[in-house]
Amino acid sequence: MIGGVMIMGDRGTGKSTTIRALADLLPEIRVVDRDPFNSDPEDPELMSEEVRTRIKAGESVPVGSMKIPMVDLPLGATEDRVCGTIDIEKALTEGVKAFEPGLLAKANRGILYVDEVNLLDDHLVDVLLDSAASGWNTVEREGISISHPARFILREGISISHPARFILVGSGNPEEGELRPQLLDRFGMHAQIGTVREPELRVQIVAERSTFDEDPATFRGKYEDKQNALTNKIVDARKRLKSVDIAYDFRVKISQICSELNVDGIRGDIVTNRASKAIAAFEGRSEVALEDIYRVIPLCLRHRLRKDPLADIDSGDKVREVFKAVFGLE
């Protein structure tokens, strides 16, 4: 997994529309029926505790399929809404874990989308950091206190964990504020979207939007074949991905670029390698080409560079310059 995508750009450039359309493009996933965590029926790492226990006991679980969930995380959401809540009194009095799943549970094995992510409250940023790092969401609540005539107090804490492996996608306008570096580093790739300046293309966009507003069903039908073809292409690329190879010399040069750009850690190296293989698989090839690396490396590294307020060059262009120097293309 590449680790999610951050899309930053001007207002009104279609960022949210594009991201929400991803759910219709991606193939369906197999899930355990009526499981609130979208548990995978085969992978224990993607199962809830209840499903794992049932399978270990030899019980058969009903299996179905569903579209990949697309979950919106509102900026003003409470921590309980995001993580889920525990009914402590019911847990202590009836001996059952009464858990109300939150948004992280719904987003498991899907996409968690945060619009205006650079305006997200710090307490929610901390929650996302924990889940993104471990792939699990743990909800812990203090127990209730019960006084007895014997003058002692019973206090018991409750803890519940469930898988929370999601693709984190964020969008926003850079003019409205910066994103915390810890969360920014969790995004595998960073794309910048600019406003279209060509009059002819702007007219075409306006005409397409007007056609959709007048008759959405007909508009969707017009592009159904192309969308299905793209979905099938994604399915084939996933199957091919494991067989795609990247030359050792390319891997060394990718790490050299990261080193010369003073990129902290090795996430930049890892993401660039994975993204290069992914684009090769998507285009039906089993070997990463130099052009593949050139296309993805600015997206993988531009947000990992240290900020220089006096710099007179775009961070993406800086990555490309170092790429050309390392690969001897100048």
Does any domain span residue 112? yes
CA angle 246/7/67 to nearest 5° reads 80
311 to each of 30, 51, 149, 257, 317, how far by Cα in Å? Answer: 48, 53, 71, 19, 11
Average pLDDT for residues 94-115, to the nearest whole number?
A: 84
Average pLDDT for residues 292-304, to the nearest whole number?
A: 94
- pLDDT reading at 245 higher than 90: yes
Q: Are residues 189 and 73 in the same domain?
A: yes
Does any domain span residue 52? no
- pLDDT reading at 2 higher than 50: yes
Q: Are residues 12 and 121 in the same domain?
A: yes
For the annotated catalytic residues, the residue numbers are: 267
What's the rounded Cα separation, in Å, for the pair 11 and 115? 12
DSSP state of 266: S
Q: Are residues 178 and 203 in the same domain?
A: no
Q: Are residues 119 and 236 in the same domain?
A: no
Please give the structure tokens belonging to residue 160: 């519940």
Per-residue model confidence (pLDDT) at position 330: 67
What pLDDT, in 10s, does the model give residues 190-202? Answer: 998 888 899 999 9
Q: Are residues 131 and 265 in the same domain?
A: no
CA atoms within 13 A on the CB side of 282: 10
Per-residue model confidence (pLDDT) at position 152: 47
Q: Are residues 213 and 295 in the same domain?
A: no
Q: Are residues 295 and 222 in the same domain?
A: no
Q: Are residues 75 and 174 in the same domain?
A: yes
DSSP state of 44: G
- Structural domain including 272 reads 244-327
Q: Are residues 144 and 204 in the same domain?
A: no
Q: Are residues 103 and 160 in the same domain?
A: yes
Q: Dihedrals φ, ψ of 194, to 5°?
A: -110, 160
Domain final position from 193, 224, 258: 193
Per-residue model confidence (pLDDT) at position 88: 65
What's the rounded Cα separation, in Å, for the pair 40 and 20? 23
CATH number of the domain to which 287 belongs: 1.10.8.80
Q: Is 60 left (phi over 0), alpha (psi -120 to 50) or beta?
A: beta
Does any domain span residue 40? no
Rg of the chain taking only CA atoms, in angstroms = 23
Going by C-alpha positions, the residue among 252, 261, 233 that lies closest to residue 293 is: 252
How many structural domains are present in the chain? Answer: 3
List the single range of 38-47, 51-60, 200-209, 306-315 with lowest mean pLDDT.
Answer: 306-315
CB neighbours of residue 216 within 10 Å = 10
List the single range of 106-110, 146-150, 172-176, 278-282 with lowest mean pLDDT.
Answer: 146-150
What's the rounded Cα separation, in Å, for the pair 133 and 274? 18
Does any domain span residue 123? yes
Domain final position from 160, 193, 226: 193
Please give the structure tokens belonging to residue 66: 């569903």
Does any domain span residue 178? yes
CATH number of the domain to which 172 belongs: 3.40.50.300
Does any domain span residue 126? yes
